[in-house]
Amino acid sequence: MNTLLKDVFGVFKFAEGLYAGIRKILVPPKAYSWQTFIYLSIFSWVLSYCATGYIKDIIAFFGWLFLIAGTAWYTTEDPLRVPGTFMPVGAVITGFLVSVFAFGDQQDVITPKTIVFWPTISALITAIPEFIEGNDTDAKARIPKPEDRQRIIILVASSMLLSCWIQFHFVTDNWLRQYPSLQADTFKHSTFVPRTEELVKIPQNGVVILEKLQPMVVEQIAQRPWSEVEKWLLDAKQRVGNLGRGIIQKNLSKYEEKELWRVEPRVANTKSGYILDLLSIWIGPSSNPRGYYLKKSCRIEPVAAGNNSENKITVAEIECDRASKLISGSPPPQQ
């Protein structure tokens, strides 16, 4: 019986200690405390959901200010430093909140700007107290000591450099989204641009152009009278160019690099007919000063068609390569 009573009192004592700990965190010891700011931020956000128009934005604005102030106060009471620096972890947390507040939006709270400015804002928050002396009620500006100035400059400069590298990541990522063909050539030797082997072998947009162009050309040539095909080949530059521009506008419309592709044909005579080379030419930046292009060759030959010798006519038969070839250098001149 005594053991049971001890267990019961032990449970009550544990619950009492747990309640006291929670109460210490949640109940402010005085009105002017960090908990008050946190509660004001929660209260502001609840009210903002019930409001509309510019009133909602104003209430939400103050909610962010209360949250930032409360978090900064709490994390600086007993600061934990980032290893190797004098930057408090609280400054990192506060810097993130400030960055989200300044550069986030309703659709996407965490934006690239939020991540880019986060280190620099955290460093500035760390540096600000070094220029202030005194307490909450009696504070004045001061110039830090020479040794303090040095570490402040190093911290802020290092954080700005980190922000620049993060920005560089987002810039190159945006380049590769809008100009994916750069990854196959210009950035193929890069050590800071992530890629897969499949993406760096051949520019996929150049392949798409030729894959869409081939059936259109075949449709205009196959089984047509040979005389008409020869006339078509004489005007191949304009015909293929028009088809290529239409394909680029339709299939590459979401890429900025659509302006950097050009489609041209090359026609050569053979003993039995013609060779029609379809070229998608990259005119953008390249690691090769002469650029590169993709080629798909089609062989066009005359064949006899008809049921008997009297009705036979000569028509064109066309056969194209299955895959496109990537060729470094300038395309051959047109004849």
At residue 279, the pLDDT reads 94
CA distances in angstroms from 13 to 7, 18, 165, 233, listed in the order given: 10, 9, 54, 96
Q: Phi, psi (5° rounding) for residue 265?
A: -105, 160
* Sequence-separated (6 or more) residues with CB below 8 Å from residue 180: 199, 203, 204, 205, 255, 257
Say if CB 181 and CB 283 are below 8 A apart: no
User: What crossing angle do the helices spanning 236-251 and 204-221 adopt, rounded to 10°?
Assistant: 130
Each domain of the chain, given as residue ranges in start order, spans 2-178, 197-328
CA distances in angstroms from 189 to 56, 115, 185, 214, listed in the order given: 51, 27, 8, 32
At residue 70, the pLDDT reads 77
At residue 88, the pLDDT reads 76
Decide: residue 155, CB within 10 A, 0-12 exposed, 13-18 middle, 19+ buried.
buried
Tell me the per-residue pLDDT of 204-259, one tens digit each, with 9 for 90 and over. 888 999 999 999 999 999 888 988 989 999 998 999 999 999 999 999 888 888 89
Q: How many CA atoms lie within 13 A of 81 on its CB side?
A: 5
Separation CA 280–CA 210 (nearest Å)? 7
User: In 222-258, which positions are buried (b, 16+ CB within 10 angstroms) versus exposed (e)?
Assistant: eeeebeebeebbeebeebbeebbeebbeeebeebebb
Say if CB 122 and CB 94 are below 8 A apart: yes
Report angle CA 99, 65, 133 to the nearest 5 degrees. Answer: 90
Separation CA 223–CA 257 (nearest Å)? 36
Closest CA to 297 of 318, 327, 326, 276: 276
- How much of the chain, in percent, has pLDDT values that exceed 90? 22
Separation CA 176–CA 257 (nearest Å)? 10
At residue 198, the pLDDT reads 44
At residue 193, the pLDDT reads 58
Residue ranges of the chain whose pLDDT lies below 50: 5, 196-200
Tally Cβ neighbours within 10 Å of residue 138: 7
